[in-house]
Structure 1
């Protein structure tokens, strides 16, 4: 197959997929499907896909020269539209992409051990678990700094003795500033949760927790920060 044939084959797969999932009639053109699609990947790469639609029209609607398409796509273009097709129809999921053991602590535990783990593994926040082992809050470096400031003596010394994780919770600046998603959530859907939070509340989510069905009363499979997912996308 020529590059133009490979390109058109993938283009038609995308077109048919959008027609099927959104229930479009045959008279709706490709650009309209792209602009109106609710698919997260399509929305993210809308301009690029519309450009591919224009390239398709140049290949199809112009006469061939020597039985060859007048607009023969580069190999990189063929690879790119194939990559977009895979992302549209089968986007990466948050699991296994962000699957790992989540370190946290219960409210009644002393703060010492989790602080040692934070330093050792260079992470900046940890979930607080209730008596059943489910997430009930999130403590980050900002919380710890606020708590330390509240413990300052008049002479500037800080006395830290028998401090429990639950003692830090009152110093959390934004309570419950996290969300839960199911393990089958795409990385693009998860990324949009961060962006929507910024747009609506002018602040970022601390993390997104991943469980089986996106419920807080389920085992944690992993968590995502905006830095993690922005680098991936």
Structure 2
């Protein structure tokens, strides 16, 4: 197939995808479909400039005539690769469960700070979900541990084995320094949560993945801003 055929096929599939999200019941041109969905679809939002470019290119290479539609120019290979990549991102964005599922190290409220410090030393973790019985009660971070140490170091008497995690959780500045998300959320939606957090809270340390985003469900994975950065490097 010619590059123009591949480009137009991908463009038409993208337009069909956007049309599937058209709830107005009336015809919308391609650029209007993009504008309509930019506010409610993160993946469309992140690709809106490219989609506008594809729309202009589509109009430039296609000539409408009484004999049908045919291409009057051939797009470069890189353009075809770009539009096919955007199509894949729109129609099948990577899910958080496929990218960030892992065994999460969890702790009980009566575990000692010594237990956590050993994990930091051996595995370089920085976030620690804490449970009381089966109930999630908070996310302990290095920041909270540092504040606890700073507050208690003046006494010069700190027992790492006798200090329980529930006593350190109160040193987390933000009680809600976490958000639970469902496993079907895509990575770009998760990234958007981190981008938006300054408008909703002072600090967001992690997204905690469960089956449907309920804190009563088992943890399937954990995402930090560092994890998002690493995702784009792979």
Shared fold (TM-score, shorter chain, > 0.5): yes
Counterpart Cα distance in 2 of 1:92 and 1:19: 21
Displacement, 1:39? 2.1
Structure 1 residues 26 and 78: CA distance shift in structure 2, 3 A: farther
Counterparts of 2:230 and 2:72, CA distance in 1: 38
Describe how 1:146-225 pairs up with structure 2 within 5 A: 146-153=147-154, 157-161=156-160, 162-201=162-201, 203-225=202-224
2: CA distance between counterparts of 1:232 and 1:49?
A: 23
The CA distance in 1 between the partners of 2:42 and 2:203, in whole Å, is 20
- CA offsets 1:189-219 (integer angstroms, 9 cap, x no match): 1111111212344x34110000011100000
1:7/1:150 CA distance change after superposition, 3 Å:
same
1:33-80 CA distance string (max 9 Å, x none): 1111122211111111111111100011389xxxx8443211121111
SS at match of 1:147: helix
Between Structure 1 and Structure 2, which shows a larger proportion of strand residues?
Answer: 2
CA deviation vs aligned residue, 1:138-177 (integer Å, no higher than 9, x gap): 11111111101111236xx352241111110121111021
Q: Aligned to 1:88, which of 87, 90, 107?
A: 90
Q: Pick closer, same or farther for the CA change 1:120–1:188 going to 2, 3 Å.
A: same
Q: Which moved more, 1:144-153 or 1:49-58?
A: 144-153
**2:73 aligns to what?**
71
Partner of 1:142: 143
Report the CA distance shift for 1:109/1:152 in structure 2 as closer, same or farther (over 3 A).
same
Query: Secondary structure, in 3 states, of the residue corresponding to 2:179?
Result: strand
Is contact 2:108–2:130 with CA below 8 Å preserved after alignment?
A: yes
Aligned residues of 1:93 and 1:187 also touching (Cα < 8 A) = yes
The TM-score normalised by the length of structure 2 is: 0.89
Once the two structures are TM-superposed, the CA of residue 26 in structure 1 deviates from its matched residue by: 6.5
The aligned residue for residue 103 of structure 1 is 105
Cα distance, 1:86–1:33 mapped onto 2, change above 3 Å: same
C-alpha contact 1:93 1:183 (8 A) present in aligned 2: yes
Alpha-carbon deviation of 1:115? 1.1
Q: Aligned residue pairs: how many?
A: 226
Equivalent residues of 1:181, 1:215 under 8 A apart: yes
TM-score by length of 1: 0.89
In the other structure, the counterpart of 1:18 is 18
Q: Distance in 2 between matches of 1:107 and 1:41?
A: 39
- Contact 1:3 / 1:72 at 8 angstroms: preserved in 2? yes
